Amino acid sequence: MIAHVSDTHLLAGGELQFGAVDTEARLVRALEVLTEVEMPPQAIIVSGDLADRGERAAYVRVKELVEGAASALDASVIWAIGNHDDRATYSEVMFGVASTEPQDRLHDLDGLRIVVLDTTVPGYHHGEIEARQLDWLAEVLSQPAAHGTVLVMHHPPLPIALDRPGQVIELDGQADLSEIVRGSDVRAIVSGHMHYATYGTFAGVPVFTASATCYAMDLAGPGRTYGVRDAAQAIAMLHVFDTCEGLTRDAPVTHTVLPLAVAPLVVETKFSEFARLEKLSHTERRELLSRHRERRELDPAFSDGTES
């Protein structure tokens, strides 16, 4: 289980984005949500746009916050760079080396290979991958990893369907990348950049684009507008299964959205309740939770008042 956090857009000195959005508070909330999931993540992927203006102090803060949370969860952190980031400052603060070279990196998570590709073009917001990066990726993928590969890249390799102004900042050169990904051991591609959750396929591989922690794009705003809202922020949990429902080679990868909104709970079930359910047989659990309530109530064996 891997947490997928994206587009934190921190500003130095706690400045508000657009004079309105407290991006640091939104990140703190995202990290708090990670402490509340039933299955804690083994790693936290942060898929780019860490600092809104590439300010050093913003990187120091995002690193402090995310690494602090990761250490409490005993999770590793996988950083990726986005178009708002500054390569040299990002590289210096996150990795201790000031470099203006593409920030591609390799990680191993218990046999799951994570490849971080730098899709940024310094000075621009659209994305691109240089030929030498593609060569490197092809070389890396030439040897399959034990549990396959997850590719992390800020710009999703997808056409932007609903956001026409956004099309100018999509990823160029997708055809070249697709030649390398198709038929490789890449099981999923995770991205950010769009500030809304969107999903697609690329070269036969699922692409999961997380929403942002800072603010979300509203593509259907009032009066037919595109808007920015201090709402609908979210993170996601990427679950790369070893096996599932008898599948091994084709075990699935899922991406589950966790909203950051704090809203009243209308129904609440404690995790501790699950322990009780685990003691039941599969058939008993199915009768209790899957069977229509009104039919279950007719059966005295299962009329314990539990509602699903």
**Contact footprint for Fe ion (CB under 5 A):** 7, 49, 82-83, 193
- Using CA atoms, how far apart are residues 16 and 215, in angstroms rounded to an integer? 11
CB of 46 to Fe ion, least distance (A): 12
- Least gap, CB of 29 to Fe ion (angstroms): 17
Q: Which is nearer to Fe ion, 49 or 104 (CB)?
A: 49
CA–CA dist 292, 61 (Å, integer): 50
CB-nearer residue toward Fe ion: 61 or 193 = 193
- One-letter amino acid for residue 51 of the chain: A
3-state secondary structure the chain: CEEEECCCCECHHHCCECCCECHHHHHHHHHHHHCCCCCCCCEEEEECCCECCCCHHHHHHHHHHHHHHHHHHCCEEEEECCCCCCHHHHHHHHHCCCCCCCCCEEEEECCEEEEEECCECCCCCCECCCHHHHHHHHHHHCCCCCCCEEEEECCCCCCCCCCCHHHHHCECCHHHHHHHHCCCCEEEEEECCCCCCEEEEECCEEEEECCCCCCEEEEEECCCEEEEECCCCEEEEEEECCCECCECCCCCEEEEEEECCCCCCCCCCCHHHHHHHHCCCHHHHHHHHHCCHHHHHCCHHHCCCCCC
- State which residue, 29 or 239, has the beta carbon closest to Fe ion: 29
Question: Of the two residues 112 and 158, which places its CB atom closer to Fe ion in the complex?
Answer: 158
Q: How far is the CB of 209 from Fe ion (least distance, A)?
A: 11
Instruction: Compute the least distance from the CB of residue 211 to Fe ion, in Å.
Output: 10
Rounded distance, CA 289 to CA 27, Å?
35
Q: Tell me the residue number closest to Fe ion, measured at CB.
A: 49
Least distance between Fe ion and beta carbon 79 (Å): 14
Beta carbon of residue 111, minimum distance to Fe ion (angstroms, whole number)? 30
Q: Which is nearer to Fe ion, 112 or 234 (CB)?
A: 234
Q: Closer to Fe ion by CB, 82 or 157: give it.
A: 82
CB 236 to Fe ion: min, Å: 15
CB nearer to Fe ion: give 171 or 238. 171
Whichever of 49 and 118 has its CB closer to Fe ion, that residue is 49
Closest distance between Fe ion and the C-beta of residue 124, in Å?
Answer: 11
Identity of the residue, 82 or 148, whose beta carbon is nearer to Fe ion in the bound complex: 82
Nearest approach, Cβ of 163 to Fe ion (angstroms)?
A: 12
165-170 LR contacts (CB < 8 Å, sep 24+): 165/226, 166/194, 166/217, 168/126, 169/83, 169/125, 169/126, 169/127, 169/193, 170/126, 170/127
